[in-house]
Amino acid sequence: MAIRTPDMILIDVDGTLVDSVPDLAFCVDEMMKQLGREPWGETRVRDWVGNGVERLVRRALIGQLDGEPDEAEFEKAYPVFLDLYAENTSKRSVLYPGVKEGLDYLRAAGYPLGCVTNKAAQFTLPLLKDLGIYDYFGIVVSGDTLEHKKPHPAPLLHAAEFFKVSPERSLMVGDSISDVKAARAAGFQIVCLPYGYNHGEDIRIAEPDLVIETLAHLKGELEQAA
């Protein structure tokens, strides 16, 4: 399936631009150890990423995606995680193959670019800066910038308003069901990368408009777009 030429493109962070799970898993496991509990390891933690760090900590405490931990345990654990992640935001995180090339193409082709993530701003900005991609984006909407985060459409609509581009002329690029739902609710087109974090499920199940192998593959699709 093809896409229509957009006037603006928003890109997700975790699982799309950045493989951030090595740092997130390190911090979850250190937190678990400090609480006197067993670490989970990267494979388990990978399926819990995508709804912000608070949700990640809650999931780690109960060892599953859905449900709530004991509130007192969460109150103890959360600040431990925040301190750890502040120290380990980008130590082990890397850009996925094709990201730099894709961003260079999109910038050179003149697309206004924004970043929309569920990661809290205190981590998003240092991560983007440390990995050398902060300057590509005209706006960064983090998980705590607005009242709502993805899958709510508000962060996408906020960025569209910032760029003065209508949602129908806008494209979201992401890796998870939250990106697809937010894009659909906002009236954006949605392209997904298959290598990211979608709670262990193939993103094709969510039926995005298009799945591309790497961000660099967006070039060919945009050049063919109507």
Q: CB–CB of 180/152 below 8 Å?
A: no
Cis previous bond, 151, omega within 30: yes
- 14 marked as part of a ligand binding site: yes
- Give the pairing of strands 113-116 and 8-11: parallel
Q: Is 83 annotated as a binding residue?
A: no
**If contact means CB under 5 to 8 A according to the sort of partner, which of Mg ion, ligand PGA, none does residue 209 touch?**
none
Question: Residue 140 in contact with residue 114, Cβ under 8 Å?
Answer: yes
Which residues here bind ligand PGA, judged by CB under 6 A? 12-15, 49-53, 117-119, 150, 176
Q: Is 12 a catalytic residue?
A: yes
Read off φ and ψ for residue 170, nearest 5 degrees.
Answer: -115, 150
CB of 114 to ligand PGA, least distance (A): 13
Of residues 58 and 150, the one with the C-beta less far from ligand PGA: 150
Catalytic annotation, pick one of 7, 12, 104, 144: 12
For Mg ion, the binding residues (CB under 5 A) are 12, 14-15, 175-176
Q: Which amino acid is at 61?
A: L
Comparison of 52 and 102: residue with beta carbon closer to ligand PGA? 52
In the chain, what's the furthest Cα-to-Cα distance? 57
Pick one of ligand PGA, Mg ion, none as the site partner of residue 30 (Cβ within 5 to 8 A by kind).
none
When the beta carbons of 51 and 189 are compared against ligand PGA, the nearer one is 51
| 202 C-beta neighbours (distance < 10 Å), count | 9
Catalytic positions, please? 12
